[in-house]
Structures are given as structure tokens and as C-alpha cells.
Structure 1
Amino acid sequence: MNRQQNPEEAAASHETRSRTSKLPAGGVVLPVLVGLLAAALIVIYRLSFVVLETKQSLQIMKEENEALRENISACQRPPAFPPPTAVNMKPPCVQCEPGWELNQMNCYYFSTTKSSWNDSRRSCTDLGSDLVKIDSREEQAFLARRVGDIMENFWDRFWIGLTDSEEEGRWFWVDGSPLDKSLSFWDSLPDDWKGPKGTNPEGEDCAIMGTRGGSQNLKCWYDVFCSNSQKSVCEKSPETG
């Protein structure tokens, strides 16, 4: 049988239930507000990165669009000083050989054959060109996008015509001109790594480029061993016709 509570026990039980039901609402509301604030901060943080990446993508698209307009206008503008006999002639239009791509008045060949830096350069020479020299942000934007589209994996990068094999730390293009630091696009500064336990004493003296899918900030150059087998980018002047 259930034992009946005496009046004192009943009163104590009633007081306990009353206290429990009157817990302050702030004890529940405060953790909820803190959680909502934390969630809002996370959303704002992520949105800031989305906005930054969008701005960078728009800038790259703008630069590529300007380069495209330049290519089109090259086929439309008259010569600066046309000879009298050519006043009514159609101005020459630049074009590239089959397999080459035109951008900003230069032709580019994206070779998917992997070889060392020196062998890749010889292959470009056989095609009447040389490894690419990058002279502007617009050119870097074009190459970063195209190389990023071709890359099959993270390490599938392309040789460019840049090396410091003659003097460590002084980078030169294949035409002998020094690298303009205002137009360098290293993802991380060259460190001339010598390989595991110094197995490659010559160090990393040649440059490759590429980020799969394209680089948002255009910085996608890396120094590697010149003996590595990589794809390459050749460059030469276009034909006129």
C-alpha cells in the first residue's frame, strides 16, 4: 500500500516543485543566444571568402575579356601608316598554326608530352618557338586558366621559360631578361630544395606553373628540379595574313 504523506512532507514536496518550475528563463535563453551568435559569425566568415573569390574571378575574367577584344581589334584596325597603294586594302590579321592558341598577339602551344626542362625547351625550338615568357598579368591570367583546365592532377604542371641555373636566386627568362619582381607569381617563394638528404645538389632551378581548375590569385609558379618530367608551354609570334 502507498504510504500517505504527512502534512509536513506534502508541504516540502510542493515547495520543491514550485522552485523547479520557477527556474529563471535566462538560464536557457543565454546559451541559445550564444549559439546563434556563433553560427552567424561562421556564416559571415565564410561569406567574406566567397565575396573575395568572386571579386578575384571577375578581375581575371575582365583581364581575359580585354585580351580577347585586343585580338579581335587587331584584325580590324588599319595599319598605323598605310602605304598609298594599300589604303583600300584589308588590314592583315594575325593567326596561329593549327594546334596553337592565339592570345594578346602571341601564339601558345600546350605540350602534353612530359620531359625535362632542357628537353622541353629543345622541343619548343624545333617548333620555331621557345618556352613561354610571361610579361603581364593578363598573360598570366590566360595561361593559369588554360593550364588549369588541362591539368589531370595536382602535380601535372607545365614548364615555363624561367630558370636560376646560372646563378642561384637570380631568375632569368629564356631570352636572357631578368624576372620582374612586380610580375612574379610564385605560390611560395623558391627555396632551392636539394632533395631528401641532399640527393640533388643542384637544387630546384627551373619553374613550372599550374593550379588545377585555375588559380584565383594567379599565383601558381613553383621551383622544381630541372630534370623533372613535366608538360610545357611554348610561345612564338603569330603569322599575318
Structure 2
Amino acid sequence: MSQLPKRTPAENVSTAHRTPSEDVPTAQADTRRRCPNCDILSRCSALVFDPRCPSCYCPVVDGYVLVDRLNICFKASTSKKSFDDARDICSQIGARLIVLDTDDKNAAVSRYVNASRGEANYYIGLTDMVTENKFVWGDGHTVGFTKWEDGEPNDFHDQDCVLLTPWTTRWRNAPCWDRYKYVCEKHPW
């Protein structure tokens, strides 16, 4: 492994108070990198790049956010799409609709999306399209952890897809053809 130069203290500030143009890493940093000691909304003091593992990186220059302590790399969209279109877009960029399978992951993504994008609902990779009331993640795993809003899921008017409401950290179901923003996740295989 080769180690990239350490960043200055000014570069280690929270991204929550920076504009998107300020979040672009310096030219010294390779886009294929992992930050070994990062937490939500923080910058790294040392960047490590392992050329033997090209899939183990978070392309922050493409708008992704790394939460290393949870081993997640995600990107919140700014455009609205149907569930199928959102899933296809994530797939085309080597990602998937996000799997929020723990309370920590759900809270971290909610905090970041709410702080950086404002109030909006976001598709996540959970549906009950195949069997009504049997919610399954896009990777095929049956849901374990849930964070439903009161009265949800209700399947009102064939609501088979799930939305994250980041300012409450809760979920609700919605029709899959409705257009919402979405969150893609690069899986850390």
C-alpha cells in the first residue's frame, strides 16, 4: 500500500459547513481511496490507497460520502425518479439503492442527507413487490431492522416501495411509480 500525503488541519473540517465545491479533494488525493479513521461528516488525516483492491474505495469526488466506522459509502440524488429508474441508475454506476439494515446506518445516512440536502423523501432499497407485507432488501435479504413511521406500512393504493424521511429518520411506504429522490450505496465488497 502507498500512503498519500497527510492533509492539513484546515482540510479536516466537517463537510456539513462546506459547499459542494469545497468538498472536492485536493489534486494529490486519488479518487480510489479509503479513509481508515473517518466518521460521518469528517475528513481524513491520512489517506490510504491500495491498488490491489480497486473495488474498495469511495469515490468522494463523484459526490459519495464515506462513513468508515459503519463501512458505508453513499450518494444522495438531487433528482427525482421512479423506484425502478432509481434502482437502474444506481446499478449503472456500480451501486445499489441503499440498505439501511441497522439503526446506526439509518441514523448516519438520515443525518447527512437532512443536513446536506434538506427535507425530501428518498427511496431506499426495500420493497414488498414480490409478496405483500414481506419486505425484502434489493440484495434479497428479508428485512430485520425497521424504522417505520406510525401507521406504516399501510399499503394504501398499492404502496410497495419504501422511502426514508431523513428529518425523522423514519420510513414510510409509497407507490413505486411516484418520483422521489433516492440514495445509492457503493457496497464495500
Q: Is the 8 A contact 1:147 1:157 kept in 2?
A: no
Q: Distance in 1 between matches of 2:161 and 2:73?
A: 22
Instruction: Give the structure with higher Rg (CA).
Output: 1
- Secondary structure of 1:186's counterpart equals coil
Q: Which of 138, 145, 161 is the equivalent residue of 2:125?
A: 161
What's the CA shift string for 1:160-200, capped at 9, x where partnerless? 000001010000000000000xx200112201001xxxxxx
1:145 aligns with one of 106, 111, 117: 111
1:120-131 matches, within 5 Å, as 120-131=86-97
CA shift for structure 1 position 107:
1.2
- Residues 141 and 74 of structure 1: CA distance in aligned 2, closer, same or farther (over 3 Å): farther
Q: Which runs of 5+ in 2 are unaligned?
A: 1-36
Shift of 1:121: 0.3
Shift of 1:237: 3.1
Match 1:208 to one of 163, 168, 172: 163
User: 1:125 is paired with a residue of what secondary structure?
Assistant: helix
| CA RMSD between the two structures | 2.9
- Specify the alignment match of 2:32 in structure 1: none
Residues 152 and 105 of structure 1, relative CA distance in 2, 3 Å threshold: closer
User: Is 1:68 matched with 2:39?
Assistant: yes
- 1:171 matched to which residue of 2? 135
Q: Structure 1 residue 105: deviation in Å? A: 2.1
Q: Say whether 1:100 aligns with 2:61.
A: no
Q: CA shift at 1:147, angstroms?
A: 2.2
SS of the equivalent of 1:114 reads coil
Task: Render the CA deviation track for 1:50-69: whole Å, top value 9, x for unaligned.
Answer: xxxxxxxxxxxxxxxx9729
Tell me the alpha carbon deviations over residues 84-104 of structure 1, each in whole angstroms, 9 at most, x when there is no partner: xxxxx9xx9x64211111012
- Map Cα deviations across residues 1-24 of structure 1 (whole Å, 9 max, x no partner): xxxxxxxxxxxxxxxxxxxxxxxx
Q: Structure 1 residues 227, 238: closer, same or farther in 2, change over 3 A?
A: same
Structure with more helix by fraction: 1
CA positional deviation for 1:111: 0.9
Cross-structure match for 1:224: 174
Change (3 A) 1:167 1:238: closer
The alignment-based identity, stated in percent, is: 29
One-letter code aligned to 1:174: G
Number of residue pairs the alignment of both structures matches: 141
What residue identity is the alignment partner of 1:68?
Answer: D
| Counterpart AA for 1:209 | L
Moved over 4 A (4+): 71-76, 150-153
